[in-house]
Chain A
Amino acid sequence: MTSADELRNKQQLYFDDLEVGQEMPPLVIGPLTSTHFFRWSAAIENWHRIHYDQNFAIYHEGLPTVLGQGSWKQSILPRYLKDLCLPNGWAWKVNFQHRTMIVPGDTVTVWAKVTSLSIVDGLGMVELDVGMRLDYGAESCPGKAVIVLPLRGGRPVPYPFVPPKAEALQEGAE
């Protein structure tokens, strides 16, 4: 896990420092327990019993045990991308699939790998493959993301970020 102090004092990651195929520093969370799942259910007021009632999950729903929430995954991946971009980049887009279920005992490694780099309007567009790998090798959330990073000596990434026009993106990709 990344501490708050580490995030407050994080050095900026610059577009210039990346290359295609580069793996970003992973975020490891776990082993997860049913307490993590219950805490998330309480935090977002998701009272579906499959997340905290093991008897219900197994005997009523036919599930292996209680399950980690999809919404938890949906919070962790953007958080990971946001942390990569801090302090002055922007996690622009992410999409992913929910595949392997996360259950108590699993340890999750959130990862990203650079697939494409382009400069648009003076900003660094970084396309990534992303996911959440479980400790036994299964992929729980394969997906793709775009983060925006400043260039060394370049203009700052606007806050809030304003997506470039489609034509500019097209030019950057060429």
Chain B
Amino acid sequence: MSHWITIGTNVAWADFDNFQKALKSTPCWRIDNKTTITAVFALEGNRALVECQAQEKSSFLNWMERVGFVPDEVSEALYVARGGDVWKLRKL
């Protein structure tokens, strides 16, 4: 498994109800057995930051296209620190 982070635009997610509808139920974020949208931050200006765990980057790209998310760039994450919890991410 690898982790990718993207920042980009999705106008619909600026509205909280739309954001919740798009991402709350399990099939919305658990895309398939190997692909999970692990975090989404809606940002100012219709922007959003999305974290994805997947076997293949293409799975993440397909999901973005399906939900109408336009990425500026997609980067693989190497490490993560969350409140003092530090993990290496690549090739889980």
CB distance from A78 to the nearest CB of B (A): 25
A interface size (C-beta, 8 A): 15
**CB of B12 closer than 8 Å to a CB of A:** no
CB neighbours of A59 from chain B (8 A): 3, 80, 82, 85, 87, 89, 92
- Residues from chain B with a CB closer than 8 A to the CB of A65 are 36, 38
Output the nearest chain B residue to A103 by Cβ-Cβ distance: B26
The reply to whether the CB of B47 lies closer than 8 angstroms to some CB of chain A is no
Knowing A105-B25, A106-B26, A136-B25 are in contact, say whether A64-B36 is a contact too (CB < 8 A).
yes
- In the bound complex, CA of A135 to CA of B27 (Å): 10
Inter-chain contact B1/A103, CB cutoff 8 Å = no
B53 contacts A60, C-beta separation under 8 Å = no
A171 interface residue per 8 A CB criterion:
no
Residues of A within 8 A of B82 (CB): 55, 59
Supposing A55-B82, A62-B53 touch, asked if A105 and B87 sit within 8 A by C-beta, the answer is no
Chain B contacts with A in 49-88, Cβ cutoff 8 A: 53, 80, 82, 85, 87
Residues of A within 8 A of B (CB): 55-56, 58-62, 64-65, 103, 105-106, 134-136
Closest chain A residue, CB of each to CB of B83: A55
A-B pairs, 3 with minimum CB distance? A59-B87, A62-B92, A64-B36
**Interface pair B26/A134, CB less than 8 Å apart:** yes
Interfacial residues, chain B to chain A (CB-CB below 8 A):
1, 3, 24-27, 29-30, 36, 38, 53, 80, 82, 85, 87, 89, 92
* Bound Cα distance from A170 to B1, whole angstroms: 51
Minimum CB–CB distance from B15 to chain A (whole Å) comes to 20
**19 more CB-based (< 8 A) A-B contacts, given A59-B82, A65-B38, A135-B26:** A55-B82, A55-B85, A55-B87, A56-B85, A58-B36, A58-B53, A59-B87, A59-B92, A60-B87, A60-B92, A62-B1, A62-B53, A64-B36, A64-B53, A65-B36, A105-B24, A106-B26, A136-B26, A136-B27
User: Chain B nearest CB: distance from A64 CB in Å?
Assistant: 4
B4 to chain A, nearest CB (A): 13
A141 CB to closest chain B CB (Å) equals 16
Which of A56, A105, A135 gathers most chain B CB within 10 Å? Answer: A105
